Amino acid sequence: MQTALNGTADGKRLAVMKASVEADVYVGELEAGGHRLKNPRRLTLDERDDFPGAWTRDGKAILFTSDRNGQFDIYKQALDQDSAEPVVTGPGDKGNPVVSPDGRLILYIQAVTGEGQQIMRVSISGGAPEMVSEGKTIEGLRCSWSPASLCVLSEETPDRKQCIFTAFDPMKGRGRELTRVELQQRGQGYYWDLARDGSRLAFAQELLGGERRIHVLPLSLGAAHEVVIKRDIEMASLSWTIDGMGFFVGGSPPDAELLYVNMDGTTDVLWKRETLFNYGPAGIPSPDGRHLAILAHTINSNIWMLENF
């Protein structure tokens, strides 16, 4: 909540503005192979922070985290509904919901006080959550889509000099280490995503004053390569397109834009919206590639005039 005051010269009137900013889930329609976005609309209509995580495999609903109950819980909302249904609630913050490759499970990270994080699973149809794995520095989860069967977790080394990517099974837990990346500037952010077929990782670091490079890292055959974004932005998010031929990249303020980035680094601006935060939008494509779930910010403000105070 932010407040601003402005009085008249004679001191008889005072204007008071109160403004609040919240994170919300928006949805838009993708056209031209993902290069253009139309009809973006707000999906989550509450007045709390909502962060999109993943689509259900049928493309009819979006999984997201929200603090509407005092801690971050997991919710699901259909595109044709104006309210959400809880998926996982209860003590402890939860985040990063993803769907297992076969579409039957929701996986997420739950904070454990003083003990790090746990990867949890719950049936897409509901039920009691169960633990899959645990660790002290788990940062993110991603899963491929069937027929691929790979899920990946990311975590930093204790000295925060490397990011390690490890395979895990939704039922059995941790598997083998897949790859690791040197973090060039400790304390700076990084973004990554797993291609839908599980063949490649995309990784980008938030380097101060450096070029915006997306590192494409093969997990099976093929060679690593880089995509240099031909636009001066401060990266805020990164996700693969459905066809694996490009990326959706968010830029932080002052250029809070959501971009389509081709493999040659050229860009198309899909979305631009004012934000009062230090991070910008993010985009998550639907399974059929026809819609985009967007993390954006909603600003609510009102002005009152006081007299004879």
Question: Whole-angstrom Cα distance, residue 22 to residue 109?
Answer: 22
Q: Is 2 exposed, middle or buried (0-12, 13-18, 19+ CB in 10 A)?
A: exposed
Look at residue 199 in the predicted model and tell me its pLDDT. 96
In this structure, are residues 192 and 200 in contact, taking their beta carbons and an 8 Å threshold?
A: no
Task: Tell me the mean pLDDT per 10 residues along the chain, length 309.
Answer: 63 64 91 94 93 96 95 96 95 95 97 88 94 93 95 93 95 96 78 96 81 90 91 90 96 82 96 67 95 84 67
Look at residue 55 in the predicted model and tell me its pLDDT. 97
Look at residue 47 in the predicted model and tell me its pLDDT. 86
Look at residue 274 in the predicted model and tell me its pLDDT. 63
What residues contact residue 70 under an 8 Å CB cut-off, 6+ apart? none
Look at residue 302 in the predicted model and tell me its pLDDT. 61
Residue 74 has which token pair? 């997991």
Look at residue 275 in the predicted model and tell me its pLDDT. 59
> What does each C-alpha distance from 307 to 3, 8, 19, 230, 302 come to in angstroms?
18, 10, 21, 54, 17
Look at residue 180 in the predicted model and tell me its pLDDT. 94
In this structure, are residues 166 and 155 in contact, taking their beta carbons and an 8 Å threshold?
A: yes
Instruction: Give the closest residue to 263 by CA, choosing from 284, 282, 240, 286.
Output: 240
What residues contact residue 32 under an 8 Å CB cut-off, 6+ apart? none
CATH 2.120.10.30 assigned to 2-307: yes
- Report strand pairing: 151-156 vs 291-307: unpaired
Look at residue 252 in the predicted model and tell me its pLDDT. 77
Domains of the chain by residue range:
2-307
